[in-house]
Chains A and B, each alone.
Chain A
Amino acid sequence: MTERTTEQAPSRSSQDETSAAGSATIDTVTAPDPARERSQGSPIRGRGERIFRGLTSGSGLLVVAAVAAIGLFLLVQAVPSLLANNANFFTSPVFDTRDAANLNFGIRDLLVVTLLSSLFALLIAMPVAMGIALFLTQYTPRRISRPFAYIIDLLAAVPSIIYGLWGIAVLAPALLPIAEWLQGNLGWFFLFAPGNLPVLTGTIFTGGVVLAVMILPIITAVTREVFSQTPRFHIEAAQALGATRWEVIRMAVLPYGRSGYIAGSMLGLGRALGETIAVLIVIRAATTPSNFSLFDGGYTFASLIASAASEFSQPLPTGAYIAAGLVLFVLTFVVNAIARVVAGGKVNG
């Protein structure tokens, strides 16, 4: 027994570096000896392991390569247009590509509208998702929480276009009184100051609420999952000290689930940043630059690109939109990186 294992150890480690042909020879060497029947499985298992490892690292590399290729594609397409641009790409609020010989495009307002609507959505969705996840995992028996969770998940299956229609037809008028109140009473604060739209519907405010509903299921699902995995012995530690239900949550559930909650929220933010059709329908276009207010209109990166997609015929104007897409692409990476820092490594165990 010991003899076999010591014998195999070097051969297996050498297999790691050798090719498939190398392991085949090892197979034929071991197979004929009946006394080694039990060790015979090992090279085969070794090969299986190697194939598996090859597949996993291969697919990992493939993903990285695909992401790099997408980035490169965007960059290559964008550079000629960026060189031909007559406006400052980062600070100009206009995005005018009607004349291919005189491109004037900048992303200032796209960035403002994208970030404002997404962060506002996150601000609404995060506490709500936390509340739902706590309610489902800590306050309700499984029998009730299952169907309830299912309904939340169902929200994720509703097509974006439906959210867009609902947002503009139902939600926008319903939010009007709130928007009016906010602007009337808190208008001195830049976020609630009058925006660049003549009305208070179809604003970033409306769009943010729609986005909040759209990203709620993913944040809730992730948060619910991590909360439900809080180790029993952490919970019992708190209970045995005489913690009430809320205190158990504070002492055991939240510290354990914190990083998962943040990760889930960042997934949601990623979705909000890239959401296209609902935003395109809900948020009205504006003719003047953004005032950094929630009651502004305008385009996000995604909605602008989608709105212009039917006119992508000439390479230079198209490249301008691709440059905008590239910024969105980078933005999502930055969001992910920040999330990682905030989540602070791993879940405690």
Chain B
Amino acid sequence: MAKRLDLKDVDIYYGDFHAVAGVNLSVAPRSVTSFIGPSGCGKSTVLRTLNRMHEEIPGARVDGEVLLDGEDIYDRGADAVAVRRTIGMVFQRPNPFPTMSIRDNVVAGLKLAGVRDKKKLDEVCEASLRGANLWKEVSGRLDKPGGGLSGGQQQRLCIARAIAVAPDVLLMDEPCSALDPISTLAIEDLIADLKKDYTIVIVTHNMQQAARVSDQTAFFNLEATGKPGKLVEIDDTEKIFSNPKEQATEDYISGRFG
């Protein structure tokens, strides 16, 4: 079930380093939001706070509220492990479990959730691989290790793995940065497809990609090194790319940055 996300006054720290300050934004269910901005401005950091991966780094912490359909995922009673089971993540570098078979990779999350029924697992495996546009390529070798696929296939395998658990939200951190144009297009098509069922947030350095896949775009910026990154503006993608409110956004998307 797709859910909405609201961030309220989110501040993110790495130990003493204030990495991102005062983020307020909302993501509607069944929509794609892209994060753009220069390197080091905190896009990945914000993304990783959305499924509580951020706190795995020693000394890292988050202030403010991250609401998933109104419920704070940082609430005292909320469990990080449970949060991650409902908010899936795809990383920049494809990271299938290399020795696990393709099938086991896809259903790894389901197994963690305690699903043991073989028939159910096989069904979900096929559906997820089809969903990730990978079924045709791997249906004959589901028992082969996931590490034996090409980079683009591995990334789609990771997407299949993420959607197999039917998450409420799907986070993607530069999912295409290691891929060739054809795999990139395949994944963009996939995102457009997945939008029907999921709430998606994607970080990208590729402006065209942001323009192609997303409904709304958030531009993050860094005033100076050592200063925290900030959300400059967030708006409909069309607006951001045609008529942004802020000069910094205009400069960035037109390549006049820095």
Contacts and interface: CB of A to CB of B under 8 A. Distances in A.
12 contacts: A237-B91, A237-B95, A240-B51, A240-B84, A240-B88, A240-B89, A241-B84, A241-B161, A242-B81, A243-B81, A244-B81, A255-B97
Contact of B99 (A237, A243, A348): A348
A349 B93 CA distance: 13
Interface residues on B, range: 20 to 34
Interface in B60-90: 81-86, 88-89
Interface of B: 51, 53, 56, 58, 81-86, 88-89, 91, 93, 95-100, 108-109, 112-113, 147, 158, 161-162, 165
Contacts, number: 63
B155 to A, nearest CB: 12
Contacts of B58: 141
A78 to B, nearest CB: 44
A233 B81 contact: no
A239 B84 contact: yes
A234 B93 contact: no
A252 interface: yes
B81 A348 contact: no
Nearest to A254: B99
A286 interface: no
Given A242-B84, A242-B109, A243-B112, A237 B53 contact: no
A7 interface: no
Given A243-B112, A247-B112, A233 B95 contact: yes
Given A241-B108, A251-B108, 19 more contacts: A141-B58, A233-B93, A234-B97, A236-B53, A236-B56, A236-B91, A237-B97, A238-B97, A239-B84, A240-B51, A240-B84, A240-B89, A240-B162, A241-B162, A242-B81, A242-B165, A251-B97, A255-B100, A348-B147
Contact of B96 (A236, A237, A240): A237
Q: Which of A239, A242, A252, A349 has the most CB of B within 10 A?
A: A242
Q: For the complex, would chain A's binding face be called helix, strand, loop or mixed by DSSP majority?
A: helix
A348 B98 contact: yes
A173 B58 CA distance: 45
A242 B112 contact: yes
A242 B165 CA distance: 10
B36 to A, nearest CB: 22
Interface in A207-244: 233-234, 236-244
Contacts of B113: 242
Contact of A234 (B56, B84, B95, B161): B95
Contacts of A247: 112
A75 B165 CA distance: 64
Closest A-B pairs by Cβ, 3 of them? A242-B85, A242-B84, A240-B89
B104 to A, nearest CB: 10
A239 B52 CA distance: 10
A251 B81 CA distance: 15
A242 B169 CA distance: 14
A184 to B, nearest CB: 41
Contacts of A243: 81, 112
A306 B18 CA distance: 65
A5 B157 CA distance: 42
A237 B82 CA distance: 15
Contacts of B85: 241-242
Contacts of A237: 91, 95-97, 158
Contacts of B158: 237
